[in-house]
């Protein structure tokens, strides 16, 4: 692939709801540029972006694919992203390195829920945005209806630059509102420019005038000349429009169809003409020691790169996808990973087109490229000169919310499982692996059911480890409802020295969270001091092994009151056993109480669904702590909810809210489980 200067680079992320046509649009751009003689089809599994078997089997994108497209002396680094909430981490990472987001909206379905969520994410990041209304050739497609939904959902700044010529099966071209011309298509990727059809001239001129007025207000000089009767040229309008796009204040709307294709060439051209280059974007803030410094995107600046994604390839090994933040980096340059302080040689960099590797000799500032076999480099690492040990703080990926227990399908995979899980988490930061020391269960945590299913398939295909899912075991605890005293006697005679120890214990409850206290009140040497620690150890082991219901015991005070010993047969073992026996008996006398873990939950929900979500939390034995208004007509509800009621909450909340609500949960405290639910705990234990 040819090298391009930074001014000719466009890093574009395609985002939108699943099924809006992002991957098909990517194929149309490849066909337009001459890279492919014919576009692939998602249904046939022949697209460049969806090259993983899991994607081809499901007919949907599951990870971000980098697809460079060369058009009009520019290089468009297209990032094709998934459109489902389960894989929003992939989209978030791609947005972090893009300079422009093109939102693909279906003219049939309109603005869908994931598009809304991604728009908020892009707005929070200050990412410039354009909108492409796709599928105008389909039945029930409507540009007017879709444009109205875009305006009502995304608010001010939406500026249509095109109008469709015909709709549904009669859709054949677009009107360029900037130049007052029509562009029609006849089965070829590029259109033919001509006059506006007579039946659309009046309405087109009205929309054109409104568009021009909306553009010139952003430039005082241009506005003054316009009011004096000087009609700005197309070039002047595009220049002013480009400033509005780069500042995140204007969101151009284009229209077309990626399958026919219509308007794809116009989209590519406008990305080149009004889309920001990496040099038009703000610099990044890096830290070195206690200092923070802003580094501008300068081709002549110090060489600086960040790894934004890691891919595990069965044949190549680890592939690190990087963005050049500053400087121009030649092949075989040596940088330092500022996390590990180890040297990193930029050997044989390449660009990726799907899974195809395209060698490059030099990386310009702002470019996206890949490096192979950097075994110690992880996602988020900064590669910098040795005399400039700075780090860029990578944004936190979305937190996974759905956990399942996992175990290897075969005993032979037990040793390989944790290594495979670690490599999987390196590739996908929204996958989390936990080992619960209380339940001795390995947990795989993801964004949803599909995400976890795909993770299991990748473990088998890439790392040769098959797993099976289990329900998550809730780590219950036990405590006592009152005080009790009991004696434990351990006596064993087997010839020679025997075992003899007697301990009398008082067991009392502590305040929630009190943990464990052991008090020695032995007087008169009833138990020699060297054996007191053995009594305590026996109690602690009995607490850990489980109480009446089989769960670890907490929040108790144990007082050693009395005991007996034998000068020959007593030992640490005998008193440890006596302590455990006395504790178990006292526990039964005092009355066991089951404690359940309770999580603090924050649910972000649209105001229109607030009642349904609050009602659902109540059915889960939740206690609402409060609610505060959020942004974009949303409310953040805070509640404490038993962990046992949250094992499927990610799935249920998505179903309840149509995917519009989200939540986070973290352990808060333990609380008493209602007595009528104890039987369920006994069965599950």
What gap in Å lies between CA 448 and CA 82, rounded to an integer?
Answer: 14
pLDDT band (50, 70, 90) for residue 1: low
Q: 339 and 255 share a domain?
A: no
232 and 379 fall within a common domain: no
Q: According to DSSP H, which parts of 604-677 are helical?
A: 610-619, 649-657
Q: For the chain, what's the residue count?
A: 685
| Boundary of a domain, candidates 534, 557, 590 | 590
Q: From start to end of 471-621, where are the E strands?
A: 477-480, 484-492, 499-509, 516-520, 556-564, 592-606
Residues 291 and 347 in one domain: yes
DSSP state of 474: P
**Can you read off the two tokens belonging to residue 490?**
């351990």
Residues 336 and 270 placed together within one structural domain of the fold: no
Q: Of 258, 280, 302, which residue constitutes the final position of a domain?
A: 280
pLDDT in tens, 398-443: 999 999 999 999 988 888 999 999 989 989 999 999 998 888 899 9
Residue 529, φ and ψ in degrees, nearest 5: -60, -30
pLDDT at 217 (0 to 100): 78
First to last CA, the chain: 61
Q: Does residue 123 belong to any structural domain of this protein?
A: yes
CATH number at residue 78: 3.40.50.300
Q: Per the structure block, which two tokens stand in for 40? A: 């692939």
CA distance 428 to 438: 26
Select the more confidently predicted residue: 594 or 685: 594
Checking if the pLDDT of 606 tops 80, the result is yes
**Are both 62 and 197 inside the same structural domain?**
yes
Torsion of CA 21, 23, 28, 30, to 10 degrees: 160
Residue 303 lies in a domain: yes
- 1 assigned to some structural domain: no
pLDDT score recorded for residue 98: 98
123 shares its domain with 258: yes
Check whether 683 has a pLDDT greater than 50: no
Examine the domain organization and report whether 269 and 339 are in the same domain: no
What angle in degrees, to the nearest 10, is found between the helix axes of 264-274 and 234-246? Answer: 80
Coil, strand or helix at 331:
coil
Same domain, 306 and 269: no
Q: Can you give the pLDDT at residue 492?
A: 87
For residue 499, the domain's CATH number is: 3.30.230.10
Q: Are residues 419 and 350 in the same domain?
A: no
Question: Do 495 and 642 reside in the same domain of the chain?
Answer: no
Supply the DSSP string of 365-422, one letter for each residue: TT-EEEEE--TT--TT-EEE-TT---EE-PPPPPPP-EEEEEEESSGGGHHHHHHHHH
Q: pLDDT for 150-185, tens place per residue? A: 999 998 899 999 999 998 999 999 999 999 999 999
CATH of the domain at 605: 3.30.70.240
Summarised one tens digit per residue, pLDDT across range 83-92 is: 999 999 999 9
Q: Is the pLDDT of residue 120 over 70?
A: yes
**Res 55: pLDDT:** 95
Whether the CB-CB separation of 325 and 284 falls below 8 Å is answered with yes
- Does pLDDT of 343 surpass 90? yes
Number of domains in the chain: 5
Cα–Cα dist 221/190, whole Å: 35
Using the 3D structure, point to which of 256, 280, 304 is the last residue of a domain. 280
The angle, 0 to 180 degrees and rounded to 10, between the axes of the packed helices 88-97 and 113-125 is 30
Judgement on whether residues 508 and 553 belong to the same structural domain of the protein: yes
| Residue range of the domain that includes 309 | 284-392
Residue 397: inside a domain, yes or no? no
- Name which of 614, 600, 623 is nearest 661 in CA terms: 614
Backbone angles phi, psi at 422, to 5 degrees: -65, -45
Q: Could you tell me the CATH number of the domain that includes residue 460?
A: 3.30.70.870
CA distance 481 to 7: 72
The sign one gets for the Cα dihedral 373, 379, 383, 386 is: negative
CA-closest candidate to residue 85, choices 654, 589, 667, 470: 654
Report yes or no on 58 lying in a domain: yes
Asked if residue 425 belongs to a domain, the reply is yes
Same domain for 276 and 316: no
CB 191 within 8 A of CB 265: yes
3-state secondary structure 79-133: EECCCCHHHHHHHHHHHHHCCEEEEEEECCCECCHHHHHHHHHHHHHCCCEEEEE
């Amino acid at each position: 692939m040819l090298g391009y200067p930074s001014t000719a680079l466009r890093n574009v992320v395609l985002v939108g709801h699943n099924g809006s046509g992002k991957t098909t649009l990517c194929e149309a751009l490849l066909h337009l540029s001459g890279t492919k003689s014919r576009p692939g089809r998602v249904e046939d599994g022949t697209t460049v972006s969806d090259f993983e078997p899991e994607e081809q089997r499901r007919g949907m994108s599951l990870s971000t694919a980098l697809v460079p497209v060369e058009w009009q002396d520019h290089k468009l680094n297209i990032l094709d992203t998934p459109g489902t909430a389960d894989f929003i981490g992939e989209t978030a990472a791609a947005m972090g390195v893009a300079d422009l987001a093109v939102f693909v909206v279906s003219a049939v379905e309109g603005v869908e829920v994931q598009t809304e969520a991604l728009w908020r994410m892009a707005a929070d990041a200050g990412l410039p945005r354009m909108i492409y209304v796709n599928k105008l050739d389909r039945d029930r497609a409507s540009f007017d209806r879709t444009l109205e939904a875009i305006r009502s959902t995304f608010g001010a700044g939406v500026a249509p630059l095109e109008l469709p010529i015909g709709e549904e099966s009669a859709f054949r071209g677009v009107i360029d509102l900037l130049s007052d011309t029509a562009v029609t298509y006849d089965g070829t990727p590029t259109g033919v420019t001509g006059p506006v059809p007579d039946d659309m001239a009046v309405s087109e001129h009205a929309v054109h005038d409104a568009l021009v007025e909306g553009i010139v207000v952003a430039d005082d000089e241009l506005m003054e000349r316009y009011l004096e009767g000087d009609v700005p040229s197309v070039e002047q309008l595009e220049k002013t429009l480009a400033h509005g796009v780069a500042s995140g204040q204007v969101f151009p709307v284009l229209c077309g169809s990626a399958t026919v294709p219509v308007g794809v060439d116009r989209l590519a051209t406008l990305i080149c003409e009004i889309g920001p280059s990496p040099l038009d974007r703000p610099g990044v803030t890096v830290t070195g020691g206690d200092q923070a410094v802003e580094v501008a995107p300068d081709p002549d600046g110090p060489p600086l790169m960040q790894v934004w994604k890691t891919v595990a390839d069965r044949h190549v090994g680890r592939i690190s996808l990087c963005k050049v933040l500053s400087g121009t980096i030649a092949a075989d340059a040596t940088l330092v990973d500022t996390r590990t302080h180890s040297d990193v040689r930029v050997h044989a960099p390449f660009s990726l087109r799907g899974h195809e590797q395209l060698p490059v000799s030099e990386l310009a500032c702002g470019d996206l490229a890949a490096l192979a076999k950097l075994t110690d480099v992880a996602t988020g690492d900064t590669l910098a000169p040795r005399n400039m040990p700075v780090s860029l703080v990578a944004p936190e990926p979305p937190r996974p919310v759905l956990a399942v227990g996992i175990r290897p399908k075969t005993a032979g995979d037990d040793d390989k499982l944790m290594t495979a899980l670690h490599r999987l988490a390196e590739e996908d930061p929204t996958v989390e692996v936990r080992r619960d020391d209380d339940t001795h269960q390995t947990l795989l945590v993801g964004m949803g059911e599909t995400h976890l299913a795909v993770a299991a398939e990748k473990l088998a295909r890439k790392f040769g480890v098959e797993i099976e899912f289990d329900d998550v075991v809730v780590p219950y605890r036990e405590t006592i409802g009152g005080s009790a005293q009991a004696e434990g006697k351990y006596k064993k005679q087997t010839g020679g020295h025997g075992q003899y120890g007697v301990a009398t214990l008082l067991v009392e409850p502590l305040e929630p969270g009190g943990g464990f206290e052991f008090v020695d009140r032995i007087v008169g040497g009833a138990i020699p001091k060297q054996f007191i620690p053995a009594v305590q150890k026996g109690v602690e082991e009995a607490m850990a092994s489980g109480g009446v219901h089989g769960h670890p015991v907490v929040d108790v005070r144990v007082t050693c009151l009395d005991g007996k010993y034998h000068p020959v047969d007593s030992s640490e073992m005998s008193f440890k056993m006596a302590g455990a026996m006395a504790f178990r008996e006292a526990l039964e006398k005092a009355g066991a109480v089951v404690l359940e873990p309770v999580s603090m939950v924050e649910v972000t929900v649209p105001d229109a669904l607030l009642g349904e979500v609050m009602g659902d939390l109540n059915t889960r034995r939740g206690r609402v702590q409060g609610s505060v208004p959020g942004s974009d007509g949303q409310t953040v509800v805070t509640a404490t909810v038993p962990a046992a009621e949250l094992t499927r909450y990610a799935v249920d909340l998505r179903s309840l809210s149509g995917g519009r609500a989200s939540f986070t949960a973290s352990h808060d405290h333990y609380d008493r489980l209602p007595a009528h639910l104890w039987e369920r705990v006994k069965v599950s234990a």
